[in-house]
A = this chain, B = another copy of it.
């Protein structure tokens, strides 16, 4: 054995390329340059005061110890009520596991589902870590190139075509990162039928649930109980740094998921769990819904403005806070394009490379996690950068 050996799985686990770009952006800022940040997948809104106050209350009450690995029962019950009240779905609290972010949920799910060598189908482009959660347990991520024809989503046909003997699961995200597109109930139902027909598991990432514009959001759990759903307090509830998410799984898997969580996490952060009890309060939801409306206004500003500059959006993104622009008429190298745009004009966006290898050189992601007046300035800078 070689002393400095690094495990082979690390060959399949890429860094976030945008981190280097972010580091450069911060250097430029330190030099006094004005940088407009549209690269980060994090809401610019603070966590609602109600939630912060509750965290402080929890700390004062000494709520600082280990909790059950599955999360504190009242929070699991709040989430059950949330499914009932918001999405008209009945989900037993016992099927809901609180996790250290949706990252924790994805670790548990891959750990319990995927044997070494087994594969998981997913979209390319997609959230980069999805591949890596599979690689971490020595599974094989199979990103399938998707484009405008399927709204950048997996379809029943694609899954049917690419499923093989090694395939254990298919994973979809609605709304999706980086494309912001949605699956309809019918599409999800068709996908579910194929996956279950193959004897596999469907994993539905609903991390951006609630951040949907012009459509009524639903949960995949209204299609069937027999899937695994991943969710998060990070995006809609603007609690990124609290590291709190959840999953819903069929009863059959809960014991194993709980056992794995006990062992690899012990529990999620206690004060975050206590604070999240307030996240579903009507007063809090009112704040969050105003923010959703603001995100919608931002999309409605940014989409036509970028289209006018030559970025193409063949499918209108109806969720999350991202625009995944086809920049093929502007560059054949989106990576250099993003760096040049940062250096020359101080606008930070994410090159397609972070989301896969499917035409990544012709795509960039804009996060509309900054105010409209800043985005107006960003658009003016990009226009100048393009010489238009």
Contact with B along A164-181 (1 / 0, CB 8 A): 010110000000000000
CA distance in complex: A136, B167 (Å): 20
In the assembled complex, A62 has its CB within 8 A of some CB on chain B: yes
Chain B residues contacting A5 (CB-CB under 8 Å) are 113, 168
CA distance in complex: A63, B242 (Å): 10
Contact A64 B47 (CB under 8 A): yes
Question: Which chain B residue lies CB-closest to A244?
Answer: B269
CA distance in complex: A272, B40 (Å): 22
In the assembled complex, A31 has its CB within 8 A of some CB on chain B: no
CA distance in complex: A74, B54 (Å): 27
Contact B64 A6 (CB under 8 A): no
In the assembled complex, A55 has its CB within 8 A of some CB on chain B: yes
Question: Which chain B residue lies CB-closest to A255?
Answer: B15
Contact A101 B265 (CB under 8 A): yes
Contact with B along A259-273 (1 / 0, CB 8 A): 110111111111110
Task: Please tell me which one of the listed residues B14, B63, B165, B272 contacts residue A1 in the complex, with CB atoms under 8 A apart.
Answer: B165
Chain B residues contacting A6 (CB-CB under 8 Å) are 112-113, 253, 256
Task: Please tell me which one of the listed residues B9, B64, B111, B118 contacts residue A240 in the complex, with CB atoms under 8 A apart.
Answer: B64
Question: Which chain B residue lies CB-closest to A259?
Answer: B15
Chain B residues contacting A114 (CB-CB under 8 Å) are 7
In the assembled complex, A65 has its CB within 8 A of some CB on chain B: yes
Question: Which chain B residue lies CB-closest to A241?
Answer: B270
CA distance in complex: A263, B132 (Å): 7
- For chain A, the bracket of interface size reads 35 or more
Which of A196-204, A291-299, A301-309, A373-381 is near enough to bind chain B?
Answer: A196-204
Contact A138 B138 (CB under 8 A): yes
Contact B265 A242 (CB under 8 A): no
Interface residues of A in 230-289 (CB under 8 A from B): 239-243, 252-253, 256, 258-260, 262-272
Chain B residues contacting A199 (CB-CB under 8 Å) are 1-3
In the assembled complex, A59 has its CB within 8 A of some CB on chain B: yes
CA distance in complex: A6, B250 (Å): 12
Task: Please tell me which one of the listed residues B40, B59, B100, B101 contacts residue A52 in the complex, with CB atoms under 8 A apart.
Answer: B59
Contact B66 A260 (CB under 8 A): no
Task: Give the most central of A40, A104, A200, A269: most B CB within 10 Å.
Answer: A269
Interface residues of A in 128-166 (CB under 8 A from B): 128-129, 132-133, 136-138, 165
Q: A7-B112, A52-B64 are in contact. List 19 more A-B contacts (CB 8 A).
A: A1-B198, A1-B200, A4-B252, A5-B168, A6-B256, A46-B62, A47-B62, A52-B59, A64-B239, A64-B242, A103-B264, A107-B264, A132-B260, A136-B263, A138-B138, A241-B267, A241-B271, A243-B268, A269-B269
A-B pairs with beta carbons under 8 Å apart, 29 shown: A1-B118, A3-B199, A3-B201, A5-B113, A5-B168, A8-B115, A9-B115, A10-B112, A16-B262, A19-B262, A47-B64, A55-B271, A63-B241, A64-B240, A65-B241, A100-B265, A103-B264, A104-B265, A116-B138, A129-B264, A132-B260, A132-B264, A133-B264, A136-B137, A136-B263, A136-B264, A241-B269, A243-B267, A243-B269
Which 4 A/B pairs are nearest by Cβ-Cβ distance? A241-B270, A132-B263, A65-B241, A269-B269
